[in-house]
Structure 1
Amino acid sequence: MDTPWSRRRVLAGLLLLPPAVAGCALGRAAGPTEPDPLIALADAARADAALAAAAVAADQGLAAALQPLVEARTQHADALDGEIARLSPERPTPTPTPPPAPTGRPGRAEVQRAVLASGRAAGQVALGMPPDRVGLVASVAACCNTYAEVLA
């Protein structure tokens, strides 16, 4: 008669236990130390807003098309920063990375390319987000992609 707890099964189970326990411990340890992917999206939002503002400063004729984008991307950065703080209140809030200074006189095409890249990045991040965060990230992606189409 075959018993459910044969010596072989117990030994095999004991041999597999250490790798399983180690894998669980490593998985828990890696999570909090990894940077939140929303930090890069917030930095990109600030950079897009700065680029669009520089384009408006260089050509006031772009103000009607780009000023709403400046405001939207600033709101994105604020919302993403708030979500980062909400999920990890014990983690020190990183100081926002200052956006790079635009080189030359940025125009509509440069802003369109930057916003398109931000939309793609947000879309990729959204694919790996948990349900409570995916709405915000997908909203950012949709807004960026829409503005990229409007500016095309």
Structure 2
Amino acid sequence: MCVVSPVDRTLRSRTPAVSRRTVLRASATLGGAAVLAGVTGCSSADEASPAEPDPLLAEARRARADAASARAVLADRPDLVDTMTVIADQRTAHADALDAEIVRATPVTATTTPSTTAPVQPSDIPTLAQLRDDLTESAQRAATLARSTQGYRGGLLGSISASCTLVAAAVQA
């Protein structure tokens, strides 16, 4: 047989330990504090640390400078038309690709203009050894930056590094 024991109703308290009103007050206070902390955190972070320049800007400038150097050598040494044209075209394409990536990754509120370089003066025409050294340094810098960059940017920089290494080897001093 089943024995049913009576329920002792004296153990149950008539008033809850925490009222609904207390819960609502606490929620409102915590919610307000969270909003205030979020607003304060956002404004102080924006004012304290200005946006860092995109690391690809320096690489785009280097690419344009290398292209200008190759064109200057071409003007001085027309016998190297094939090699210098390839170098100038490739480094210009590198600069254009870097500029496009900078524009793509930059927020709409900021304005970015493609980097330009001043034309090389006749007295500033680099030697073939200087051009090769500049291309080698560009390759090394792009490779270093590629190792610390992920995704498309890393691949772009790795490709630029390989291209610079190849054309630097083609420059015979």
Hey, what's the Cα distance between the residues in 1 that align with 2:139 and 2:114? 23
Q: What is the percent sequence identity of the aligned residues? A: 36
SS in 2 for 1:42: helix
Report the equivalent of 2:66. 48
SS in 2 for 1:33: coil
SS in 2 for 1:48: helix
SS in 1 for 2:113: coil
The answer to whether the aligner puts 1:124 opposite 2:144 as a matched pair is yes
Large movers: runs of 4+ above 4 Å: none
Hey, what's the Cα distance between the residues in 2 that align with 1:56 and 1:71? 12
Report the equivalent of 1:5. none
Hey, what's the Cα distance between the residues in 2 that align with 1:86 and 1:41? 16
Gap regions ≥5 residues in structure 1: 1-21
Gap regions ≥5 residues in structure 2: 1-40
Change (3 A) 1:85 1:135: same
Report the equivalent of 2:90. 72
Q: Tell me, yes or no, if the aligned pair for 2:69 and 2:125 is still in contact at 8 Å.
A: no
CA apart distance, 1:148:
1.1
Hey, what's the Cα distance between the residues in 1 that align with 2:154 and 2:69? 26
Of the three residues 136, 142, 148, the one matched with 2:156 is: 136
* Matched AA of 1:129: T
The answer to whether the aligner puts 1:112 opposite 2:132 as a matched pair is yes
Change (3 A) 1:100 1:36: farther
Report the equivalent of 1:13. none
Q: Tell me, yes or no, if the aligned pair for 1:58 and 1:106 is still in contact at 8 Å.
A: no
* Matched AA of 1:61: D
CA apart distance, 1:101:
2.7
**Greater Cα radius of gyration, structure 1 or 2:** 2
Q: TM-score under structure 1 normalisation?
A: 0.74
Change (3 A) 1:75 1:95: closer
Q: TM-score under structure 2 normalisation?
A: 0.66
Hey, what's the Cα distance between the residues in 2 that align with 1:137 and 1:121? 9
CA apart distance, 1:95:
4.4
